[in-house]
Amino acid sequence: MERWFDAARKRYSVRKYTESASRDEIRCLKEAAEALSTDSVRIVVGKKSGIFNPLIGKAISGTETFAAILCGANAEDYMAGMIGEAFVLECASMGLGTCWLGLSYNKRVADSCVKYKDEYEKIRCVISIGHYDKSAEFKRSRKTIYDLTGYVDTAYRKLPDWQQAAVNCARIAPSARNAQPWEFDVLNDSIQIAQVARNFGYGELDCGIAMMHIEIGAAHCGVYGDWTVEDGLALFKVDYNG
Ligand SMILES: Cc1cc2nc3c(=O)[nH]c(=O)nc-3n(C[C@H](O)[C@H](O)[C@H](O)COP(=O)(O)O)c2cc1C
């Protein structure tokens, strides 16, 4: 979790790569993918030429390594977001660049790389993976803490450390089109995420990504909890006596 916390702070979407992942790295990525996969959300890692020649959207260049996030019949989108983001942060902690892709990949090529479990399983997103120039500049634009929580700076700083760390970490989570379709309600022993936009069908998956970041931020302060999800509201409740 602490490796993922460091990775979350350094990560940004890389679209221009210098090299694909090596054979050894792909072996490690496959192990990580298997460890993170569940019955309903699977991660398949591969390398294929043409995977990033998109029919729509901007092309990814310089790599042929990818991970496909597959959702089965009963998969919830927020689980795809949580599991996919854990994988993204594992890649980042291995020093690899990534970018979540809803559109910018070639679906026909991706389909040809996947052995589906049944007729219901589908690719939800693809993640590009590869080496990149770490000295390249990047810009991160995010909503303010006030916009996300309703707290002004002085009140926010009085919140318990774990809640500040969790919200700060969720604030830098990636989302489709950088829409950040979430608001955080900081309660006594919990944090609630409300999905505030559909974001072209990616809103729930985006919120799953932010949920993973909340968990990682809280864990950085030694605080752990459980999620309950209902009607677009996800509640992270901890056993907290601080
Ligand atoms: C579900 C999802 C789908 C995305 N799809 C694309 C895409 O098709 N093409 C692309 O270039 N970036 C895509 N992105 C990357 C976002 O544009 C990026 O995460 C966002 O702008 C925030 O920037 P950052 O990741 O550098 O912090 C996607 C991100 C998410 C979470």
Reported as a single tens digit per residue, the pLDDT across 49-63 is 999 986 666 789 999
Q: Rounded to an integer, what distance in angstroms lies between the CA atom of residue 169 and that of residue 5?
A: 8
Residue 231 pLDDT grade (very low, low, confident, very high; cuts 50, 70, 90): confident
- The length of the chain, given as a count of residues: 242
Q: Rounded to an integer, what distance in angstroms lies between the CA atom of residue 123 and that of residue 119?
A: 12
Query: What sign does the dihedral 40-44-49-53 (CA atoms) show?
Result: positive
Query: What is the number of the ligand 1 atom nearest to the C-alpha of 202?
Result: 1
Q: Is 176 in the pocket of ligand 1 (CB under 6 A)?
A: yes
Domain 2-130, CATH 3.40.50.720 — does that match? no
Query: What is the number of the ligand 1 atom nearest to the C-alpha of 105?
Result: 8
Q: Rounded to an integer, what distance in angstroms lies between the CA atom of residue 178 and that of residue 199?
A: 10
Burial level of 153, CB count in 10 A (0-12/13-18/19+)? exposed
Give 171 Cα–ligand 1 centroid separation in angstroms. Answer: 14
The residues spanned by each domain of the chain are 2-130, 145-238
Reported as a single tens digit per residue, the pLDDT across 90-100 is 999 999 999 99
Q: Rounded to an integer, what distance in angstroms lies between the CA atom of residue 199 and that of residue 180?
A: 9
Residue spans of alpha helices (H) in the chain = 2-10, 23-36, 77-93, 107-113, 145-149, 153-157, 161-171, 203-220
Reported as a single tens digit per residue, the pLDDT across 57-85 is 678 999 999 999 999 999 999 999 999 99
Give the pTM: 0.97
Reported as a single tens digit per residue, the pLDDT across 117-172 is 999 999 999 999 999 999 988 889 999 999 999 999 999 999 999 999 999 999 99
> Which among 175, 205, 212 is the best mutation to test ligand 1's pocket, defined by most ligand atoms within 8 Å of the CB?
175
Per-residue pLDDT, 230: 83
Superfamily of domain 145-238: putative nitroreductase (tm1586), domain 2 (3.40.109.30)
Average pLDDT value for the chain: 95
Cβ neighbours of residue 137 under 8 Å, at least 6 residues apart?
none
Reported as a single tens digit per residue, the pLDDT across 194-213 is 999 999 999 999 999 999 99
